[in-house]
Amino acid sequence: MCGIAGIMTSDGSAPGTDLLERMGDALSHRGPDGRGRHVRNGVGLVQTRLAIIDLRTGDQPIYAKGRGEEASALVANGEIYNYLELRDGLAGREFATRSDCEPPLHLYLSEGAEFVERLRGMYAIAIHDPGSNRLVLARDPFGIKPLYFASVANGVAFASEPQALAAAGLVKPELNPTARDQLLQLQFSTGRGTAFRGVERILPGETVVIEAGRLVEERRLAALPRLAPMPMPTEQAIRELDGVLTESVDFHQRSDVPYAMFLSGGIDSSALLAIMARLNERPVRAYTAGFPGTAVPDERLHAREVARAAGAEHVEVEVTEADFWALTPRIAAALDDPAADYAVLPTFKLAQAARADGLKVVLCGEGGDELFAGYGRYRTARRPRPFARRMRGKGILEGLGILRVPPKERVWRAGIAAAEEQGADQGLTRLQTLQAVDCADWLPHDLLIKLDRCLMAHGVEGRVPFLDREVARFAFRLPDDLKIKGGLGKWILRKWLEKALPEARPLQRKRGFTVPVGEWIARRGGELGHLVAAQPGIQEACHPDKVERLFASGVGKHPLAAWLLLFFALWHRRHILGLEPQGDVFETLATG
């Protein structure tokens, strides 16, 4: 896992090494173990390395020759889990390393931009092909690993994080109002645009080709099979699920350093633990977050029981109100592509604990809800009309009178609506369409950004075995009634877990995961409200007096709205105004 960045100039002039160094410095947290650089024929690449596989010879850039005399160069952020199988299939190619990222370069040299079709993993890859004077950028189909690009004064630049482009002076940190409006209603932004004007995402599964500093080719690899459900008996589905999920977890455990996992006690992480316990001779190390002294359900007790049943080494991490006030400015600073999901707090704290214990790799359960239909919104949206509800039909701040421009005059839901229309044109069931919408936007632009930034802030790699192409191929084509039955989502996964780890009690209804941000904000809302309302980003988008009134009222029925406004105020200060966090929330907001 690493950070990558680079530029291709339009006139062929060599990028300055100081420019590459500034981008590398901005990405150093993603790769504290080393740095590599490549400059040739108007292309400059930089990579900061987190050493996971091939610790001795796996430094990047990686070079390999094709038909021409000049070697092509690759820098990558991610893991190619089927790299051993790819190496075996590349007979006649000479490998210089044991790195998982070298086979993609050889595949590119033999197959061109189609090389991504054979990759199984999470990745953001940049390849400079001097023979054809091309820069190729590719991102994995689920968007697990981030990649951004921008047209700049003399070409096209890219980076793992937008803030690296700003730190190098390639783009100005100017706010994109459309993305801001989406953030303030959805807690994330959709599609290609980002919160920074002029900075765009390489979309999940997208490969782009750049020549002479301009985009000349785009292609996209789908994460989900666009096929209707395939009938399958329950017992057959359980057997096939066991095989495909076990294979994925086994692949995701490929590492030359120790690994652990995050255990919430829910269905997804319990399923991962059950398989990891089966595959590992030594006890699995499992980290669980808890919120002592609050009204939210404490998952630690159930997670403790699950860990004990699986023979795991259980580590409980307390997340307190003091952590909330102290860490939130740092978290907002880490999330340069803003995702205001309150789960950022426990995710950040768990990653901090794992890194303090010397770990670089953790397996996580993201993707289970999307692929196996775990969200309650799937069940309500499938109800017969007129009882069905549109998914994300109402914005978080809608109806509160806080925004200067009423939501109905905005286009904040346009990205979600476009994804819904695209899914509806594919001949899918209503449930499959909802899953596809979430996999297009919610998953990559909220959950996976949260995971990537919160873990990489500590130099920790997060792996997500559910988001594997073979798991997706199996799960997405399951009949709807094997996903949702008797009011329970993830039904087939629950039935499998009932056999694999019955102590997880998978058929019991469980309350959804929550973080007591509203409870904490309410205790100090009176002193916090005027600080939030005074921030330039808030004043531009909102009526300050109504923001202050929301916080002063004790948050009440709108804890998510208060959290979202606080997060955006902190994010705007750091990434638009360029002000570094100064202490806790109150100290940071009070600093001019």
Whether the CB-CB separation of 185 and 239 falls below 8 Å is answered with no
Domain match, 186 and 254 both: no
Q: What is the pLDDT of residue 1?
A: 64
Split into its structural domains, the chain has a count of 3
Label residue 298 left, alpha or beta by phi (over 0 means left) and psi (-120 to 50 means alpha): beta
Domain match, 205 and 250 both: no
Domain match, 82 and 54 both: yes
* CA dist list (Å): 560 to 19, 266, 369: 40, 22, 21
Q: Measured between alpha carbons, how far is 63 from 61 in angstroms, rounded to an integer?
A: 6
Which parts of the chain sit beneath pLDDT 50?
A: 386-387
Would residue 138 count as lying in a domain?
A: yes
From 504, 528, 553, give the residue that closes a domain. 504
Cα angle, residue 258 at apex, residues 290 and 447 outer, rounded to 5°: 45
Domain match, 462 and 544 both: no
CA 231 and chain centroid, separation: 32
Q: Measured between alpha carbons, how far is 34 from 209 in angstroms, rounded to an integer?
A: 27
From 467, 482, 504, give the residue that closes a domain. 504
Domain match, 381 and 441 both: yes
Order of strands, sheet of 155-159, starting from the edge strand that comes earlier in the sequence: 34-40, 43-49, 2-9, 155-159, 148-152, 200-201
Would residue 384 count as lying in a domain?
A: yes
Domain match, 58 and 162 both: yes
Q: Catalytic positions, please? A: 2
* CA dist list (Å): 176 to 3, 195, 334, 408, 510: 24, 5, 19, 19, 39
Q: Measured between alpha carbons, how far is 409 from 564 in angstroms, rounded to an integer?
A: 20
Give me the CATH number covering residue 129: 3.60.20.10
Give me the CATH number covering residue 490: 3.40.50.620
Q: Which domain holds residue 161?
A: 2-220
From 504, 536, 568, give the residue that closes a domain. 504
Domain match, 190 and 241 both: no
Domain match, 165 and 251 both: no
Domain match, 358 and 240 both: yes
User: Can you name the residues that pair with 48 across neighbouring β-strands?
Assistant: 3, 35
Q: Measured between alpha carbons, how far is 36 from 331 in angstroms, rounded to an integer?
A: 27
Domain match, 244 and 190 both: no
Q: What is the pLDDT of residue 383?
A: 66
Q: At what angle do helices 491-500 and 234-252 cross, to 10 degrees?
A: 70
For 3-19, write each residue's pLDDT tens digit: 999 999 999 999 999 99
* CA dist list (Å): 409 to 61, 181, 391: 48, 11, 19
Domain match, 212 and 240 both: no
Q: What is the pLDDT of residue 413?
A: 83
Domain match, 252 and 210 both: no
Whether the CB-CB separation of 75 and 38 falls below 8 Å is answered with yes
Amino acid identity at 513: F
Would residue 305 count as lying in a domain?
A: no
Q: Measured between alpha carbons, how far is 592 from 588 in angstroms, rounded to an integer?
A: 9
